[in-house]
Chains A and B, each alone.
Chain A
Amino acid sequence: MTEITIPPIDWRVATQLCIIFGWASVLLIIALFVPRSRIRVVGYLAIAGLVVAAGAGIPFWGGSAETFGGMLRLDTYSMMLNWLFLAAAAVVIAYSLNYLPKHGIEHGEYYVLVLFATAGMMLLAQGGDLIVLFLGLELLSLTLYVLTGFAYPRETSEESGMKYLLTGAFAGGFIVFGIALIYGATGSLNLAAIGDTLARAALAAEDRTYLYAGAALIVTGFGYKIAMAPFHMWAPDVYEGAPTPVAAFLSVGSKAAGFAALVRFLVEAMGSQWPVWAPALATLAIATLLLGNIGALIQNNVKRMLAYSSVGHAGYMLLGVLAAGAPGGMAGQRGVEAVLLYLLAYMLTNLGAFGVLIALEQRGELTWDINQFAGLWARRPLLASAMAICLLSLAGVPPTAGFWGKFYVFTAAWQAGFGWLTIIGILTAAIAAFYYVRIVVQMFTAEPSRETPAETDPALRAGLVIAIAGILVLGFMPAPAIDLVQRSVLATVGGQ
């Protein structure tokens, strides 16, 4: 009989995760016993849980630790991302509080699923092991499939849920296959250990083939999650059909989590192979920038346009990822900072834009035509200004959050030696400005084609105010946010 020793667990690392998982489980039970008419209580409780989890992370800020044999990490990088996810989830729930009853789809499970999805994102940010990354990805994806099809029995919602499920499960398969190949090549699943193995000695030719094939498969899988071309085809259809708050959650949370995991994988595990993957990823970044922005150019459906624009934004963030892997410490850290700052700005902005879409959405009316915005300024000046601020921020016009995001990403890419890529980025940003400004022009100058009602409610307004205030504060006073981002370091704690 051999004695089995269980290594001590550092609970600090898992505190936020445990709070969200536990609270989601408790809420699942509470939702069963709350009468149907008062189910919104579950939404308030979910927001409370998110706030508590965000607060619980504050004491641990600054340090870095790992537990469960290096499977779970807590560094300032993952902490920063956790806060982003928690904030995004809270805003999305605030958006949903009145959206769900208005569309007759108010179920307690909705809020629970949002919490579980948030936990999945946090796992993706904190995972130090390929299996944990896969676990987080599956948790996130499975909940989002259900949320996408939540507007049952609306056909578009069901359709988009099905499309998302089929393509997403396929992408999940790519990742598992990739993990298997990388394990075969390096003999480890731990990101830090893989990084060590690769940095120490050159692999045999056969193993190198497996390694690159595996890495390509994993990048494909995560590329699907972040809507990177050519794996972006699902995004417009899914965003269009999903309930609008869910589309907002998809566009910010799912993308941010995908980037969190992609950066960790490429920098920590594959950092020494940067000369190999950088050209490939650069090509994909160009394709993403071009396809996303040109695709958005020809859309008349605003929701689809935002979907294509989110593909374009993935391209800008890929520039940051490229810089993050660059050798020589300083450039790499600049890249990580750029990705985080861009994510922060993009999250605030997209949440704001989708919030305005929710205010304009009427039950059963799902055209999303650009004409809906015609003359919005005359009827709802506040809503129109909010949308204008969001669109300008998406376009990267100073002084908004989006400007600083783009500025940082371009600087990081330039410093890492991607001059031509930066130029393509700036050119596509100019293309992007055209289709964003088109809506602004519609809102401020065009005559209202017909009376489009727009309703807001206190919760939606609160979410919108947070998003808009965030965009403006970050735009006018970027110093605190940049300071926070500069402290967010990918910490590799004692790889084996």
Chain B
Amino acid sequence: MLADYLPILVMLLVALFVAVFVIVLSRYLGPQRPTRRKLMPYESGMEPIGPGQRRFPVKFNLVAMLFILFDIEVIFLFPYALVYKQLGVPGLAAMGVFFVVLVIGMIYEWRRGALEWE
């Protein structure tokens, strides 16, 4: 049964070989005349400003978490949209419960100030 997946393995190996081969080849065959400007991090031709890895506010973390929450809500809505007629009233009730749970979370984060930027 595993033999069915052999082509995928071969494909993976070929892809790996091509990528590594090209990089190694250009490393050894290409002419290398480094200048200060060439070694600089590429920032669309501008002079780089500040360090490459910058710190950013932890608030983004919170936003990302809330995003995942509502993202999952939407993912759950798509299959429901396809079958809501067949599911009828019980389906509507089930989705209603699902939404109430989400709204409770929403109210909670709102009151606790998770949506305020400052």
Question: Interface on A for B, CB 8 Å cutoff?
Answer: 1-4, 6, 25, 28-29, 32-33
The 5 A-B pairs at the shortest CB distance, nearest first, are namely A32-B111, A4-B86, A6-B90, A25-B104, A28-B108
Please measure, in the bound complex, the distance between the C-alpha atom of A291 and the C-alpha atom of B71, giving whole angstroms. Answer: 47
Q: Are A29 and B86 in contact (CB under 8 A)?
A: no
Chain B residues with CB under 8 A of A29: 104, 107-108
How near does chain A come to B1, taking the closest CB pair, in angstroms?
Answer: 12
Please measure, in the bound complex, the distance between the C-alpha atom of A29 and the C-alpha atom of B100, giving whole angstroms. Answer: 12
Within 8 A of A (CB), among B60-118: 83, 86-87, 90-91, 100-101, 104, 107-108, 111-112
Q: Looking at chain B's contact residues, is the secondary structure mostly helix, strand, loop, or mixed?
A: helix
Chain A residues with CB under 8 A of B107: 29, 32
How near does chain A come to B12, taking the closest CB pair, in angstroms?
Answer: 24
Task: Name the one of A4, A6, A28, A33 contacting B104, with C-beta atoms under 8 angstroms.
Answer: A28
Task: Name the one of A6, A28, A32 contacting B87, with C-beta atoms under 8 angstroms.
Answer: A6
Contact with A along B4-28 (1 / 0, CB 8 A): 0000000000000000000000000
Chain B residues with CB under 8 A of A1: 86
Q: Are B86 and A2 in contact (CB under 8 A)?
A: yes
CB-defined A-B contacts under 8 Å, sample of 12: A4-B83, A4-B87, A6-B87, A25-B100, A25-B101, A25-B104, A29-B108, A32-B107, A32-B108, A32-B111, A32-B112, A33-B111
Please measure, in the bound complex, the distance between the C-alpha atom of A475 and the C-alpha atom of B83, giving whole angstroms. Answer: 58
Chain A residues with CB under 8 A of B112: 32
How near does chain B come to A346, taking the closest CB pair, in angstroms?
Answer: 34
Give the interface centre of A1, A4, A33 by most chain B CB atoms within 10 Å: A4
**Beyond A4-B86, A29-B108, 6 additional pairs, beta carbon < 8 A:** A6-B90, A6-B91, A25-B100, A25-B101, A25-B104, A33-B111
Which B residue's beta carbon lies closest to that of A21?
B101
Please measure, in the bound complex, the distance between the C-alpha atom of A25 and the C-alpha atom of B101, giving whole angstroms. Answer: 8
How near does chain A come to B77, taking the closest CB pair, in angstroms?
Answer: 17
Q: A32-B111, A32-B112 are in contact. Are A3 and B86 (CB under 8 A)?
A: yes
How near does chain A come to B70, taking the closest CB pair, in angstroms?
Answer: 18
Please measure, in the bound complex, the distance between the C-alpha atom of A219 and the C-alpha atom of B20, giving whole angstroms. Answer: 45
Chain A residues with CB under 8 A of B90: 6
Please measure, in the bound complex, the distance between the C-alpha atom of A2 and the C-alpha atom of B87, giving whole angstroms. Answer: 11
Chain B residues with CB under 8 A of A32: 107-108, 111-112
Please measure, in the bound complex, the distance between the C-alpha atom of A17 and the C-alpha atom of B71, giving whole angstroms. Answer: 27
Chain B residues with CB under 8 A of A28: 104, 108
Chain A residues with CB under 8 A of B104: 25, 28-29
Please measure, in the bound complex, the distance between the C-alpha atom of A445 and the C-alpha atom of B100, giving whole angstroms. Answer: 59
How near does chain B come to A115, taking the closest CB pair, in angstroms?
Answer: 13
